[in-house]
């Protein structure tokens, strides 16, 4: 889990992702949640696809609880559905897939594999699945909710 303060420059990179919300209006934070996978996400196989689907479901459940925390606090929050790259709650024609170049600015590496692209990170290498949340709050305010992303999700 990593947090990033949304600067004006960073906000411009995500312009249009949340059409009804201005990321430059107040303090915002981007939270990235990466989970380690058993199979490298660069090696297409049935096992990798099954694992990826299961990890995406866990990411969504964790982010739903995270979003609910801010909804109850009266603060705007939305996250990216890792299966589609679309905002989970906002209506948007813009997407943010996990292999999007914009994730480089959030500490990830985007690998160009010829046939496709894949994401890698320093901690898990190519064995990673991730998503991100955008929160209308400072990094300090977001810190209180970060333990929700580390909790085990009942399966």
* pLDDT per position as a tens digit, 118-144: 899 999 999 999 999 999 999 999 999
State whether the Cα torsion 112-14-37-120 is positive or negative. Answer: positive
Q: Which residue has the higher pLDDT, 43 or 13?
A: 13
Which pair of tokens denotes residue 7? 């600067």
Q: What is the Cα–Cα distance from 45 to 43, expressed in whole angstroms?
A: 6
Closest C-alpha among 41, 52, 92 to residue 134:
92
Can you list the positions of beta strands (E) in the chain? 2-5, 29-36, 77-79, 109-112, 117-120, 128-135
Q: Which residue has the higher pLDDT, 29 or 117?
A: 29
Q: Please answer whether residues 34 and 123 qualify as being in contact, where contact means their C-beta atoms are separated by less than 8 angstroms.
A: yes
pLDDT in tens, 77-92: 999 999 999 999 999 9
Closest C-alpha among 89, 94, 70 to residue 78:
89
Q: What is the mean pLDDT of residues 144-150?
A: 94
- Per-residue pLDDT band for 116 (boundaries 50, 70, 90) equals confident
């Amino acid at each position: 889990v990593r947090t990033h303060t949304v600067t004006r420059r960073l906000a411009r990179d995500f312009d249009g992702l949340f059409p009804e919300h201005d990321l430059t209006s107040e303090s915002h934070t981007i939270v990235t949640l990466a989970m380690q996978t058993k199979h490298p996400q660069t090696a297409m196989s049935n096992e990798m696809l099954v694992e990826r689907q299961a990890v995406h479901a866990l990411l969504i459940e964790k982010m739903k609880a995270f979003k609910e925390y801010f909804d109850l606090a009266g603060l705007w929050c939305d996250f990216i559905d890792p299966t589609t790259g679309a905002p989970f709650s906002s209506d948007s024609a813009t997407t943010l897939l996990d292999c999007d170049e914009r994730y480089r600015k959030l500490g990830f590496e985007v690998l160009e594999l010829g046939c496709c692209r894949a994401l890698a990170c320093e901690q898990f290498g190519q064995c990673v699945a991730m998503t991100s949340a955008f929160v209308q709050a400072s990094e300090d305010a977001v810190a209180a909710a970060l333990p929700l992303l580390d909790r085990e999700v009942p399966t």
